[in-house]
C-alpha cells in the first residue's frame, strides 16, 4: 500500500462530514481535488471505503475500520512533528479555535503574526454559527472561541478585542421609505439562520421596537444575506465588518433608522477552569500585548466609522 498522509487527512474529513463538497470547503480545496485524492486512496484497497446511496455518500463498515487506523496514524505523525519542532527549540502543539461566521473577517488578523512567529504550531479554526461555537466551547473541544455575545451559563474568561457594529442595509440605487422602526413591518427582511448571533441581534431590535415583521427570508450565511440584499430581495441588519467593499463599490447603502447601529464587541473567550497548553498561554500573551497594534494596522477604518456620515469606508 502506498497511500499518503495527505490522502488520509482528506479521507478523514470526508468521513467526518459525509460530504465531498463540505470536506473541500473546510480543507480549502476544490471538489475535484478532494475526489481525486479520495479515489487514489481507494485504489489502495480491494474493498470499498465509501458508497453512494440516493446521491448521498456513506462510509462503509470497512471504511470505518480504515478511518480508525488513519486517525491513529495522523495523530502519531502530528505528535512526531510537534516533538521535532520542540527539539529544535520551537513552541509546538496545536491551537484550536471556534469562531462565529462573521468573525472570519476579524480573527485571521489576530492570528497571522502569531502563527508566523511560531512555525511549530498547527492551527485548527472552525467557522460556524454561535450555537455550535458555544457547544464546542462547552464540550472542551477547542482552546478558544470568538463571539460577540458572551455565552450564558458558562464560566469563561474573556479578552475584549474590537467593536462589532451592525447597521440596516439595503441595495444601492433604491429609495427606501423607512424612517422609523415601524416602517419595517411591511418590508421584506432577510435574516440569518436560527442560532446566529446576528439573527439574535436583529430579532432583539425588532422586539425592542415592537416591530411585527410580516415578510421574512432566512439564509444560512452572511454572504448569502449580502447577495440577496444587493439583488434587492429585501433589507437586513448586517455587521459592518463584512460589507466594507460592497459599500465602497456602491452595491450597498446604509439606511439610517432609530436605534441603529448596534455596537457590541468581539470577545476571545475560554473556559475559566481550562488547563491551558503552552501554545494557548503564548497566544493569550500575544493577544493581550498586541491587540491594539492589530486593530490600528488592520481596522482603523472600522474604529473611526461614522454611521451618520458613512465616512472612512
- What three-state secondary structure class fits 97? strand
Place of cell 466609522: 305
Instruction: Record the cell numbers describing residue 152, joined without a space.
Output: 450564558
Residue from 253, 112, 111 nearest 174 by CA: 253
* Domains, the chain, with CATH or none: 5-87 (1.10.10.10), 93-161+266-303 (3.40.190.10), 163-263 (3.40.190.10)
> Would you give per-residue pLDDT tens digits along the chain (313 residues)?
678 888 998 999 999 889 998 888 888 888 899 999 999 999 999 999 999 988 889 999 999 999 999 888 887 777 767 666 665 666 778 899 999 888 989 999 999 999 999 888 889 898 888 888 999 999 999 999 999 888 888 899 999 999 899 999 999 988 998 989 999 998 999 999 888 888 989 999 999 999 998 889 999 888 899 999 999 999 999 999 889 889 889 999 999 999 999 888 999 999 999 989 888 999 999 999 999 999 999 988 776 665 555 434 4
pTM above 0.85, yes or no: no
Dihedral pair phi/psi, residue 199, rounded to 5°: -60, -45
Distance CA 90, CA 117 (A): 9
Distance CA 223, CA 107 (A): 17
Length of the chain in residues, anyone? 313
Helix residue spans in 183-256 (DSSP H): 197-208, 222-230, 244-249
Place of cell 481596522: 299
Amino acid at each position: 500500500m502506498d497511500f499518503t498522509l495527505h490522502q488520509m487527512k482528506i479521507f478523514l474529513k470526508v468521513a467526518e462530514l459525509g460530504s465531498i463538497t463540505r470536506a473541500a470547503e473546510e480543507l480549502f480545496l476544490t471538489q475535484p481535488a478532494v475526489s481525486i485524492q479520495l479515489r487514489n486512496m481507494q485504489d489502495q484497497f480491494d474493498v470499498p471505503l465509501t458508497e453512494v446511496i440516493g446521491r448521498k455518500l456513506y462510509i462503509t463498515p470497512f471504511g470505518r475500520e480504515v478511518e480508525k487506523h488513519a486517525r491513529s496514524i495522523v495523530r502519531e505523525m502530528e505528535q512526531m512533528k510537534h516533538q521535532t519542532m520542540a527539539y529544535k527549540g520551537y513552541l509546538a502543539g496545536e491551537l484550536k479555535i471556534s469562531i462565529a461566521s462573521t468573525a472570519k473577517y476579524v480573527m485571521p488578523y489576530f492570528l497571522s503574526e502569531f502563527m508566523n512567529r511560531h512555525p511549530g504550531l498547527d492551527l485548527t479554526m472552525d467557522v460556524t454559527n454561535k450555537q455550535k461555537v458555544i457547544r464546542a466551547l462547552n464540550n472542551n473541544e477547542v482552546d478558544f472561541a470568538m463571539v460577540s455575545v458572551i455565552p450564558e451559563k458558562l464560566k469563561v474568561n474573556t479578552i475584549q478585542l474590537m467593536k462589532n457594529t451592525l447597521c440596516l442595509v439595503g441595495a444601492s440605487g433604491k429609495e427606501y421609505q423607512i424612517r422609523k422602526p415601524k416602517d419595517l413591518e411591511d418590508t421584506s427582511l432577510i435574516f440569518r439562520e436560527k442560532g446566529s448571533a446576528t439573527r439574535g441581534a436583529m430579532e432583539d431590535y425588532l422586539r425592542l421596537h415592537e416591530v411585527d415583521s410580516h415578510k421574512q427570508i432566512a439564509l444560512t450565511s452572511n454572504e448569502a444575506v449580502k447577495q440577496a440584499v444587493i439583488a434587492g430581495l429585501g433589507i437586513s441588519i448586517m455587521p459592518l465588518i463584512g460589507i466594507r467593499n460592497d459599500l465602497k463599490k456602491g452595491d450597498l447603502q446604509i439606511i439610517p433608522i432609530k436605534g441603529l447601529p448596534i455596537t457590541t464587541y468581539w470577545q476571545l473567550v475560554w473556559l475559566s477552569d481550562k488547563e491551558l497548553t503552552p501554545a494557548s498561554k503564548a497566544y493569550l500573551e500575544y493577544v493581550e500585548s498586541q491587540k491594539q497594534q492589530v486593530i490600528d494596522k488592520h481596522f482603523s477604518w472600522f474604529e473611526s466609522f461614522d454611521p451618520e456620515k458613512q465616512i472612512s469606508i
